[in-house]
Structure 1
Amino acid sequence: MAAAVALSGALVVPGAQASPTATSPSGNALALTPPMGFNNWARYGCDTDSPNTGDQGPSQQLILEQAQALVDTGLAAKGYDTVTIDDCWTTTARDSEGNLVTDTEKFPQGMAYIGSRLHEMGLRFGIYSDIGTATCGGFPGSWGHFQQDVDLFAAWGVDYIKLDGCNMPSSASDADGYIDAYGDFAAAMRANSSGRDMVFSESSPAYFSIGATDLSDWYDVIDGASRTGQLWREGYDVKMRNGGGSAWDKNSNGAGVMTQYGYNSLLSRYAAPGSWNDPDFLITGDGLTAEESRSQFALWAMMASPLILSTDVASLSTDSLATLGNTDLIAIDQDPLGRQAGVVSRDGTVDVLARPLANGDRAVSLLNRGTTAVPASTTLSAVGFLGGAGCSASVKDLWTGATTTTSTIGATLPPHGTAVFRVTPGAGCTGQQPTGQITGIGDKCADDSGSGTAAGNPVILFHCTAGANQRWTLPSDGTVRALGQCLDAVHRSDSTYTGYRAVLNPCDGGSTQKWSYERNGFLENTGLPGRCLDAYASVTTDGNPLIVDTCANSRPNQQNQIWALAE
């Protein structure tokens, strides 16, 4: 099991244990803030025969035009500085020495030339390969050629490698096989013959989430990727341009924004400098309305996500450029503390997220999932500020720039809209503590049953309601509290279950009221070492009891013991 991290007001995020030098031969820290830039895939696909795009695939002309557009629009100066060539850039076979061969019809002057041109523009050079025997587009993969390919990329001046996960040999196609193979590729990157630092973007987790009913392997592969790369894509490709349907909620032919936001928003424990959850590309203007584009950008910034555009940068509208160039939101995304927002509450329509920032501020967002406008609000205490009625804050609307002094945060949200604020606490605020829902299997919430406060009131799994009985605070003493009571473990026997039940009890300082949060998402009771909060029998129906059972100490992790906590 990963090392425990005590819950406290100055919580050390489990993800902060991830090494920021995992693929650096020189020992330099890599990607200490989320990477930003451009990738051609979602907008342009593989080639002119692609049924999903109707556009050209990667080419020297396309890549250099898009790179120049980043510079000309001012986006490069705001941080969008990594230009990555995706699949279909090689010929269909390696050469006689086993090297990848650039398709010179698409890239007549070769990849070293692309690298030098990008560097002359002040940009970084990214390239795609695949861990398996063939790429997803059917071109040669890197299997059996890890060091050879890495050395070739380094010689070309590559700064960033995106490694996909198609076509793994059957002998290595399970979770352990992916973890080991990506680890071996990372080792090859550290040992590259040029000594070049290259950021490693892994795609391994995506191959264990799509269509899976048991996500135990997915969590294991995410954990593995977070130890060897700087960013990792967890699920579906984003919807490609001209793929049909809405890019907001579409699940086939590429996921919609809400699908990717849904799984990514519950992985904050892995985020830290050099360690980023990647929900895939920004598709501003391609299949999204202006409001939806603003929401994707705001949510990606709140989640400390990589900001990689896959649009036609040269034809972005004035409104799209204003969205993508919003310096206040870029500052949230690039905040050096490197913490990802946690979920404060969800009720099926409005989501509230909060993210601690390096200077003591908090970023807060309000998302309307619905199709009609709704008023939405939260309070300073609900998003983690201490001080009660005496706490007020300076609240800046990061879309309008307007600032107010208030104890509440709110807005009327248009359909699919997201309001986002930077909150600076005032003198009456006495501190901060993580506050919000605890989300488990089936995206259900840990719930104080019936909002009861009597000793021994059961804690259950229930659909998320944003109710006060699902708002948990994590104060500095290691307790986990709701409605002023403490989460506890009590041994009981009845017709359903004999063993330790999760209950609320008056806070008494007892050892069974102390908890530690593991990097893999386990919430371990420190008074009962080796026992973790557990959704009984992995049942996700409302009212299923939460128990405190033996922690799964080896892969695969048990998904019913994995919890997402507030930040």
Structure 2
Amino acid sequence: MTKRILHRAAPLLLSAVLATAGPALVAPPAAANDGVSQPAANYSSVASPGGPIAAAPPMGFNNWARSECRPQAPLDGSPQLDYSFQQYMQDNAKGLYDAGLIGAGYRTVTVDDCWMYRNSSGYLHGALNWGARTEVRDATKQPGFDHELTAYGAYLHSLGAKFGIYETSGTHTCSTYTPIAPALANGSEYHEQADANSFVAWGVDALKYDNCGAEEPLQTLDTRMSNAVNTAVTNANNAGTPRPNVMFNISAPAAYNNGATKSAAMNWVRGLGQLWRVAPDIWNDRDNGVTDPWSQPLGVQSSYNFGAYQSFDATVDLSRYQGPGNWNDADMLLIGDNGMTTAEERSQMSLFSALAAPLVISTDARKFSPSYLDSHPAEAGHLRASLDILGNSEVIAVDQDPLGAGGQRVSGGAANADGTPAATSGLDVVVKPLADGSRAVVVLNKGATTANYTLDLKTAGFNPTGAGYTVRDLWAHTTGTSTGTVALTIGAHDSAMLRITPPSGSTTTPRGEITASRNNWSKASLCLDNYQSRTSNTAVDVYPCSGGSNQQWQRNDDGSILLLQAGASNLCLTAQSTVTAGVINGQQGQWVGVAPCGSAPGWQTWTYNRDGNLKLAGTTKCLDVFNGATTTSGTPISLYSCGAAPAAIQANQTWAAPFRTPPTA
């Protein structure tokens, strides 16, 4: 939780240039990473020096999206009133273990809100009740947790799991009542060191840190807790009781829509933690009427909750911030008993792995145990398919790839008529660079019927020369070769996921859409667009993404940005050298359009940085959406003074552009 201040037919590789290969291409083994395996003596609580904590995206489990603070019944029919929150979490951990998911890498088991209360002396203890007032025992309520959580943590460790815990940076968590005196509010604000000491003493390995109840700036609060955890770990080690590093998951960026404050937060969190939430919660609150966890629009149930597709859509534009030890947290996987179809579950796994997102399951994992599956045949078919999805080592390997690059949406991302993301129609194509020179490609069919799609290897960033590329279908586990295209058949709400390995000596060039930063989570990003697809006297604007070639760009090594529009030969993104009246709106500005490449090299060379600025090389001016109207279709693009980093980065100068490797600054 983070608060704000039909089975798919396997993709058919039908292209005439695709032939069955010999031995199957074996993907690298998944380097599933719990993020906390390094001893504190070697690593501080920040990502450097000494190498990154969470060198690959963390994997695990969290109860929130599935059950929130709601008491659950035991599955064996025993009296519910005796069934505690702690036992529920232990049973989920055991379900993960029995199903082989802890062994597959899903190690960090995190209990979310409502596990705690704070006594009159200011110390956290296990909740006395589950899902009600936590500080005074009520015999009519189900129990919460042990007074101290040491034994609970030891149980998780005995399964080979890691102990994750939730708190908030403010005075009170998001889902608890004002306490009854003498108990104190249960948030960590003003109690950071005491809480960090408790966490380390209990054996906590990972801390998820929310924003609720904050009275001070989030940067101040998150810095204080990061320092407190580091101090607690250091003190424990100095006292002869070695403790591992505590992985720190910060929620601050998710408190803000895109803009200067969000951009600043995306920078300062890097020095404090290893992962951070970037957008609203994925929500599967079926008790409150959520009927479509796959594509629940923002605001239907809550102003801060949306579906699995919307979470991907909000996160993909921030892939430039990713890298080993620094991860965008797209929230939880709803794979299991949350109401998505098998196709939708496969698509969420494909998309999140392509994002290099943390893979955190939120489902009733008790049902993954072999004994439950054997005794519940009506549910077993779907749940076994869920386990196959979660356990796919080839897909996990893409998520865990050591390059750490996030996926880029090179085509798709269309908008509905009201400007919201089109979650139920069209295709999205996502490309993720991999450390060995391969590319992972996800093609998502958002429509309600089967779709055919021909993938051009150039779309994935390759430069084919006639030699064969190895194409591995990561869901069908089949291998073929291609010299130019791959034909796919994809079921409704399903996805094809390919790992494409180039022949020796081949090259890559970043290609795809360039999208403007949206200023509202409920709106779709708009694409940098060649105005009216003209081939002369042309301007560029932002326009709903269509997948058209007039919105496809190629970032060349010399800094030029080539338009890939069919019929538009050798045109590059070009800034005017003077202020003129605009082609689109008639207003005065230093407008940007396309012109023959090489015709004005001083006005055609662009740099791209982690903050998302496309800056005219050798100047202090950036590609700018006129008047800040980043979600208004048809708005022209100008050249304007760049907002100063890190505190004054402007949303209308922030772009998601394709890259070969993530920008480092």
**Scaled by the length of structure 2, what TM-score is found?**
0.76
2: distance between equivalents of 1:294 and 1:533? Answer: 37
Q: 1:228 is matched by which residue type in structure 2?
A: L
SS, match of residue 149 in structure 2: helix
Q: Which whole-Å deviations, capped at 9, do the CAs of 1:166-208 have from their partners, x for residues lacking one?
A: 1111xx3xxxx22232122222222223254111111112222
2: distance between equivalents of 1:148 and 1:162? Answer: 16
Aligned to 1:546: 637
SS, match of residue 226 in structure 1: helix
8 Å CA contact 1:460–1:543 kept in 2: the answer is yes
8 Å CA contact 1:301–1:330 kept in 2: the answer is yes
8 Å CA contact 2:207–2:249 kept in 1: the answer is yes
Aligned to 1:313: 365
Aligned to 1:354: 431
Identity %: 35
SS, match of residue 38 in structure 1: strand
2: distance between equivalents of 1:404 and 1:430? Answer: 18
Q: 2:110 is matched by which residue type in structure 1?
A: T
Q: 1:58 to 1:451 in 2, by over 3 A?
A: farther
2: distance between equivalents of 1:521 and 1:477? Answer: 18
Aligned to 1:207: 255
8 Å CA contact 1:461–1:542 kept in 2: the answer is yes
Q: 2:155 is matched by which residue type in structure 1?
A: R
Aligned to 2:284: 240
2: distance between equivalents of 1:83 and 1:559? Answer: 36
1: distance between equivalents of 2:187 and 2:50? Answer: 28
1: distance between equivalents of 2:464 and 2:321? Answer: 29
- Offset of residue 24 of structure 1: 6.5
Aligned to 1:332: 398
Aligned to 1:37: 60
Larger deviation, residues 471-480 vs 215-224: 215-224
Alignment equivalent of 1:79, drawn from 105, 114, 117? 105
- Offset of residue 374 of structure 1: 1.6
Matched, 1:449 2:512: no
Matched, 1:23 2:49: no
Between Structure 1 and Structure 2, whose CA radius of gyration is higher? 2
Q: 1:135 to 1:25 in 2, by over 3 A?
A: farther
Aligned to 2:349: 297
2: distance between equivalents of 1:58 and 1:431? Answer: 57
2: distance between equivalents of 1:337 and 1:121? Answer: 30
Aligned to 2:478: 402
2: distance between equivalents of 1:237 and 1:377? Answer: 34
Matched, 1:482 2:508: no
Q: Which whole-Å deviations, capped at 9, do the CAs of 1:9-63 have from their partners, x for residues lacking one?
A: xxxxxxxxxxx9653699563111111011111122113399xxxx999722112
1: distance between equivalents of 2:654 and 2:323? Answer: 19
SS, match of residue 126 in structure 2: coil
- Offset of residue 547 of structure 1: 0.7
SS, match of residue 504 in structure 1: strand
- Offset of residue 466 of structure 1: 1.1
8 Å CA contact 1:164–1:203 kept in 2: the answer is yes
8 Å CA contact 1:38–1:82 kept in 2: the answer is yes
Matched, 1:565 2:647: no
- Offset of residue 414 of structure 1: 1.5
1: distance between equivalents of 2:510 and 2:91? Answer: 45
- Offset of residue 545 of structure 1: 1.1
Alignment equivalent of 2:593, drawn from 500, 503, 506? 503
2: distance between equivalents of 1:300 and 1:125? Answer: 23
Alignment equivalent of 2:236, drawn from 194, 209, 213? 194
2: distance between equivalents of 1:485 and 1:301? Answer: 35
Matched, 1:152 2:238: no
Q: 1:106 to 1:462 in 2, by over 3 A?
A: same
8 Å CA contact 2:47–2:274 kept in 1: the answer is no
Aligned length: 528
2: distance between equivalents of 1:205 and 1:25? Answer: 21
- Offset of residue 109 of structure 1: 6.5
Alignment equivalent of 2:579, drawn from 485, 488, 492? 492
Within-5 A mapping of 1:102-113: 102-103=126-127, 105-108=143-146, 110-113=148-151
1: distance between equivalents of 2:84 and 2:658? Answer: 41
8 Å CA contact 1:290–1:319 kept in 2: the answer is yes
1: distance between equivalents of 2:284 and 2:119? Answer: 29
2: distance between equivalents of 1:453 and 1:468? Answer: 13
Aligned to 1:128: 166
Aligned to 2:539: 458
Aligned to 1:180: 220
- Offset of residue 310 of structure 1: 0.8
- Offset of residue 113 of structure 1: 1.1
- Offset of residue 493 of structure 1: 1.2
Larger deviation, residues 106-115 vs 358-367: 106-115
Q: 1:355 to 1:28 in 2, by over 3 A?
A: closer
2: distance between equivalents of 1:194 and 1:28? Answer: 22
- Offset of residue 124 of structure 1: 0.8
Q: 1:434 is matched by which residue type in structure 2?
A: P
Q: 1:562 to 1:229 in 2, by over 3 A?
A: same
SS, match of residue 293 in structure 2: coil
Q: 2:236 is matched by which residue type in structure 1?
A: S
Aligned to 1:8: none
Aligned to 2:548: 467
Unaligned residue ranges in structure 1 (runs of 5+) = 1-19
Q: Which whole-Å deviations, capped at 9, do the CAs of 1:85-130 have from their partners, x for residues lacking one?
A: 1111112x3342x211222542237311122222222111111100
SS, match of residue 386 in structure 1: coil
Alignment equivalent of 1:382, drawn from 443, 459, 473? 459
Larger deviation, residues 112-121 vs 414-423: 112-121
8 Å CA contact 1:295–1:367 kept in 2: the answer is yes
